[in-house]
A and B are shown apart, each in its own frame.
Chain A
Amino acid sequence: MTGRFLFRLFWSALTLLGTALLTFLLVNVVPGDVARVIAGPKASPQVLEEIRQRYHLHEPLWKRAGYHFRQLAAGDLGHSFVTDQPVAEAIRARLPTTAALTVTAVVMWMLLAVPLGVSTAKYRGSWFDRSTLVLATLSLSLPAFWLARLLQYWLAYKLGWFPVAGFLGFAHLLLPAATLALLYVGYYARLIHAHMIEVLDSPYIRSARAQGTPERVVLFKHGLRNALIPVVTILGMDVAGLLGGVMFTENVFALPGIGTLAVQSVFNLDVPVIMGTVLFSAFLVVAANLVVDLLYRWIDPRLR
């Protein structure tokens, strides 16, 4: 058990290292004069030269990689070219917004997806099940930027039910979270549906019914609890993905989260922030993997 965990930890570290190397290379082979970006179009040659010196832009790629990794090893993600704010601090400042958005969205879509998945599995093949399948496919295939704009225009701008943009309080999270929930609910409803069907066909469900167990207990205690085991993996990954930055939705609703930070940094060619946000989301995914792995042992006695 401990050995397996250490092995997983080692691989996680290796994955992160690979991601760091890859982002460094990708960002540094992109054409564009970083010094000009930092200093602006009217900067004098002296200023440009000074910047090139400061960020080692003259030196070969492998040497720059060396500086970069030495810095990373010390836990320093560098400073933003644009604001000079430490990247780690920028991420830390924006994480609560993204986290609040993620949690609200997850709660919203799970509150919808669980009853939908359970009832469509219970009444499989009914018109209700079939129409849910159509709606779920729709939810799966909606583009995020389009849905976000649509909801913003109608529900916030035209009808005035929600704040249009910005982040002043919980009300500002409702529409962005609803956007995300609408995008994810179809997938989760079908995922839970599929696992519920598998579980409901298993002999222990039949034996629970034979025993005289009320249908509610059969569905939720014996059915859902077993069907949710595989869902936990996907949910873990999705939560990690969202925490790493909700690009479109945060931008449309102008939420100061990690997604807006990442998109801004790309527009500004703010290399340290780009690398920082990418590395941060990679870290979240790797961490989620580890957490799910440990969680599995706890929720599934067969793996203990």
Chain B
Amino acid sequence: MFKPFYYKSKKIILNSLIHIFLISVAITCIYPLLWMVVASLKTQDTIFKDISLIPHQFHLENYLLAWKAGGFGGHFLNSVIYTVAVVFAIVIISSLAAYAFSRLRFKGSKLLFMMFMAAMMIPIPGSFVALYMLLNKLHLRDTPIGYILCMVNVGLSVSIFLFKTFFDKMPQELEDAARIDGCSKFGIWWHVALPLAKPVLAVVVVFNALNVWNEYILALIIFDSRRYMPLQVALQAFQGEFVTNYPLLMAGLTITALPIIVVYLLMQKYIVKGVASQEVFG
């Protein structure tokens, strides 16, 4: 009589303690973001006086001001363009290469693949110095195309690795059938391999999108012109100019953070999968 009850209550207490622990950490995660959104709806006068999490008035005009006067509209568009262009290029280029590494025979394929993998492991913290010089030489510094090419390179190795791991496990019969039907190699890649790789494709897209949207240091050294800057760099510049206008800065931060949070919430499944597959790296 007594013992099961003892175990049951012990279990309930343990579970409640675990929940308290988890909830307190969850609140710590959310609080700064809530604070950011709420602060973006206040005015400069009330932002430090009224510290409640529910503002008395919603000053949505802060967003309009940030979007137009703060220039965040243009920077937002830049970030979207860079992200879409880089992700699109990475998907095409890396899946092509991964397909070749996985299925086609040619001299040096092993060596080339090893090179990509080595690049994934070897950090070169000073590479931005060399990239700066390289882009200067190619007359691509301070141009969107220069930045896009650099970012494509950043995501290339990991994406090739992810695609190749998938293609290696793909059944050969499907390809044979397509070949008998008269499909060319490119046809097989486009019509058979890529559609089958949809789960990996999603992981590649989400991770590279996060990476490009959040990238900072390369954008910082590549762009001098304000009009080309993506959001992350523009935020720093904005903070320099409107140093005291906190509601506007918070509106800018919300504009920067919100798309990525929405993408994350929609694509959560693939992110979890992508992180789990990092285990292979060891």
Chain A complexes with chain B: no
User: Measuring CB to CB, which residues of chain B are less than 8 angstroms from any residue of chain A?
Assistant: none
